[in-house]
Amino acid sequence: MKRRLSVCLFILVVLFALFAAAETDLKDFHCGEQGYTTRIPADASTTFQPGNGLRIWLDEPGYVPNVLIWRRTDAVEDPQTYIRETYTEHMKKTYGSRLVGTSLSEYVDMGGKRLLGATYIYKGSSGATINQMHLLEVREDGQVEYDARYLNAERDMTLAALDAAVRYYQPDSGSSGETASEEIRCEEQGYTTRMPAGKTTTFQEGNGLRIWLDEPGYVPNVLIWRRTSRLSDPDTYLGTSYPAYMKEKYGDNLVSVTQQADVDVGGKHLRGTAYVYKGASGATINQLHLVDIREDGDVEYHARFVDSERQMTLEALDLAIRYYQPDTGASGKRAGTAASSGKKINAASAAPIVSGTVPVKDSRFTMELPAKWNCQVSGEFMTFCYRAWDPESPNRSVFMFLKLEPFLKSQAAKDMYQQLSGSFGGSYSLFADAPVLKSLTLAGVLEAIPDTIRFAQKYRDAGAINPAIFPDIRNVTILEKTPSALPAPASCTENSIARISYQDAEGHSCEGLVTAQPVDTMHYDLYGVDGWPCTVYLLMGVTAPMGELAELEPVLTRCLSSFSFTPEYVKKAVNLSTEEMQTLLGIGRQMDNARSAMNIAWERRQATYDILSQKNSDAILGYDRLYDSETGEIYRAESGFYDSYDLYRNEYSNPNLQLIDDQSKQYYLNGIDYYITR
């Protein structure tokens, strides 16, 4: 029974992953009538009906498919009875004989939450068969009911919209209705947000936008600062650098410092630190310092208040974070002040390396890849593998191998098989050619890739994996390694994610983020050596030319996580164990886990290697990296440009460019804004 229950839960998790994967095109939506925000499909429309709720129309308004959200104004005292009996009776009364099916689920996993739920099937007025999923979320800030109605053909799109509505539901802070607020715009840093109505603001260069909740110049207040450069190590900044600044500023008046890994505010999980210090008047002041790590520019928030002002200040902070929205294309860097006269620098805006993705699918799988990329697959079911790459730069790639074998554990085992192959042939000859893992580690797997390619080439006609699928990885150096959160077999000898540098066959310098799970299941004595072969599961990763991984990692890991097998393909699997079947069914969830694990590893990386990667890339390609001392914008120029520019900088309309050196190396952590050409 325990086994059956775990399988059922697993299937629910897999279904959830499939729904969640579809939420790629969403927009924030605020329901002022009931005081909450959530996300809905970008092309959906809505209507609100008092006593009924917010209806999200996924097609034509008034018809299925649609999703309903109702923040209850009264509490359901017995949620189980309400779902199983009260609401079911309502459906029977509403549809009578047209209600053709009822399925009462104890729990439904949706939007990262476990909710009470039931599913109904009824005949609509047109005779069409309609499905309705009804969910109840029990919350201290007000129970919420959700309904999703759809035809069978609309199931996936509707449940994806339902998943988003549930996942991103967030009530307004401290209110059952809309907080009285007004939109504000920060022209200096290019963003909009909201603040309590009737308050005033000031902007101070290098400090940020201050929202004064009482008299300007005094607490309580909230500060927003859109950083002009990304934080290379947010944990160190929050845990060490900023506390040191506060200690220097307030000395003995700093009463306490409390580190907080996650602070839930504005519908987000942010990192933060809370301070208590004595102000100039002797009053005890609280200061909450938060950082929002964002691809469009990290944002710092400060909230200062005395104890009696806590609630009003945190509500203002909630508004500022919840509604923060940067201008399209804005970077948070302020406009330069250089004179417009003088020679113009021939600079072109830097375009992204990869712009957008497109769906790729056949009868076996679906995934997202950058447009115009090549994709090649090999193997079947548990031996399935693929590699996708940019034809203009093949080292930009994504790859995955579900299962690779055989590998030998030592050169001694290979030598023994080579001795025996002449006499016995057969599998002895095959093992005599098998690649060797010098260590049962991720490093051992990566080092064995060239030999694995040679093995696949020799046995291609015998059904081995197409050797062209393998990434061209040689001379690997592991720069950093992080334990992986991916589930692994009990006999896995190492489960980690590594940031690597390597060379391809032509000697080009590259980098990547990779993982693999070597598995050693048993021992076999072969004339004094262990001759039992081992297996490698989930060899996968993303790669890029040196200097490009920092920009490409978010896009490529998202592509990696988008992979899933089609249900039709899995149904064709034969002669597979139950465990292998479950692996195939859950591969979408596994890929989503892989993305999360890789992103965690990437976020924890050392900035030193980012800087080194960019410097090496510039040196190899013949470029200099420059920064604008006024705006913080980053330029890349052909070597030699700066020498000439520096001699005559006063003749240029922008005389503020400086060469990035060891004293300003932190600028290597910023993306390139402009390319300078001659």
Q: Helix or strand or coil: residue 466? A: coil
Tell me what pLDDT residue 543 has. 96
CA 479 to CA 595: how far, in whole Å?
19
* Helix orientation angle between 578-585 and 587-603, rounded to the nearest 10 degrees: 60
Q: What is the pLDDT of residues 316-328, one digit of tens each?
A: 998 899 889 888 6
Nearest residue to 30 via CA among 160, 172, 135, 162: 172
421 φ/ψ sector (left φ>0, alpha ψ -120 to 50, else beta): alpha
- Between 519 and 570, the more confident residue is 519
pLDDT surpasses 80 at 37: yes
pLDDT more than 90, % of the chain: 34
- Between 340 and 359, the more confident residue is 359
Averaged pLDDT for residues 357-368: 89
Domains 181-326 and 373-407+437-447+465-520+534-606 in one fold: yes
Q: Looking at mean pLDDT, say which of 346-355, 377-386, 483-492, 645-654 comes out highest.
A: 377-386
Nearest residue to 373 via CA among 362, 360, 382, 385: 360
Sole residue written with tokens 């009911």: 145
pLDDT more than 70, % of the chain: 89
Contact residues for 649 (Cβ-Cβ < 8 A; gap 6+) = 655, 657
Q: Which fold has domain 181-326?
A: Protein Transport Mog1p; Chain A (3.40.1000)
* Helix orientation angle between 549-561 and 587-603, rounded to the nearest 10 degrees: 160
Cα four-point dihedral sign 408, 414, 419, 422: positive
Phi and psi torsions of 247, nearest 5°? -65, -40
Retrieve residue 349's tokens. 């805006």
CA 288 to CA 301: how far, in whole Å?
8
pLDDT surpasses 70 at 207: yes
391 preceded by a cis bond (ω within 30 of 0): no
pTM assigned to the model: 0.51
CATH number of 12-171: 3.40.1000.10
Average pLDDT, the chain: 83
CA 71 to CA 174: how far, in whole Å?
15
Q: State the amino acid at position 450 in one-letter form.
A: P
Nearest residue to 480 via CA among 606, 668, 603, 597: 606
Q: State the amino acid at position 470 in one-letter form.
A: F
- What are the extents of the domains in the chain? 12-171, 181-326, 373-407+437-447+465-520+534-606, 609-676
Nearest residue to 671 via CA among 375, 437, 352: 352
pLDDT surpasses 60 at 341: no
Q: Which fold has domain 373-407+437-447+465-520+534-606?
A: Protein Transport Mog1p; Chain A (3.40.1000)
Tell me what pLDDT residue 577 has. 66
Q: Do 504 and 474 touch, CB atoms closer than 8 A? A: yes
Residue 130 DSSP one-character state: E
Q: What is the pLDDT of residues 398-448, one digit of tens each?
A: 999 999 999 999 999 999 998 888 777 777 888 999 999 999 999 999 999
Residue 165 DSSP one-character state: H
